[in-house]
């Protein structure tokens, strides 16, 4: 885990016009869309798998965790492959993104906890909010999301 006052190097991406960020150290690769194989009986949050370098990995739609509609892919849509520890083991997971932007530095003085009231999203799914200009960047709490929705 990152020290509480250390800046966060983060990959920024869009989900339905909202900007999100993941710690860059988690990101393995950003891919163009790949053929998906639906998983019968799976919940929509992880409703498909993809072939990533000969390995079958789950494809997660964070939009559904944040109660957004899934939406159709566009020319800007990408898959962000992350390496994440699930149940004590390293796992590769694909995350849908409507558009991937850049790796940027988020300083701790621009971040704050999500308010517990007044949010349209579950506050426990948000690790931090960061301000950049007039925009908000949402840093999701993947541990909470995967524990609840996975």
Whether the predicted pLDDT of 1 surpasses 70 = no
Residue 69 exposed, middle or buried by CB count within 10 Å (0-12, 13-18, 19+): exposed
pLDDT of 8-32, one tens digit each? Answer: 999 999 999 999 999 999 999 999 9
The helix or strand, by DSSP H or E, that contains position 147, with its residue range, turns out to be helix 142-149
The answer to whether 91 touches 81, Cβ cutoff 8 Å, is no
pLDDT of 66-110, one tens digit each? Answer: 999 888 899 999 999 999 998 889 999 999 999 999 999 999 899
Read off the tokens for 117.
Answer: 């009231």
Helix, strand, or coil here: 125?
helix
pLDDT of 48-66, one tens digit each? Answer: 999 999 999 999 999 999 9
Calpha distance 96→90 (Å, rounded): 19
Read off the tokens for 95.
Answer: 């995350």
Q: Can you give the pTM of this predicted structure?
A: 0.91
Calpha distance 92→85 (Å, rounded): 9
């Amino acid at each position: 885990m990152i020290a509480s006052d250390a800046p966060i190097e983060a990959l920024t991406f869009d989900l339905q016009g909202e900007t999100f960020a993941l710690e860059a150290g988690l990101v393995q690769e950003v891919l163009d869309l790949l053929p998906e194989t639906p998983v019968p009986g799976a919940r929509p949050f992880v409703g498909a798998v993809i072939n990533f370098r000969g390995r079958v990995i789950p494809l997660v739609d964070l939009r559904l965790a944040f109660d957004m509609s899934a939406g159709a892919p566009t020319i800007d849509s990408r898959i962000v492959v992350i390496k994440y520890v699930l149940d004590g083991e390293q796992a590769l997971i694909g995350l849908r993104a409507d558009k991937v932007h850049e790796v940027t530095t988020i300083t701790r003085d621009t971040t704050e906890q999500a308010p517990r009231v007044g949010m349209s999203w579950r506050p426990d799914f948000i690790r931090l909010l960061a301000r950049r200009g007039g925009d908000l960047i949402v840093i999701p709490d993947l541990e909470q999301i995967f524990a609840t929705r996975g």
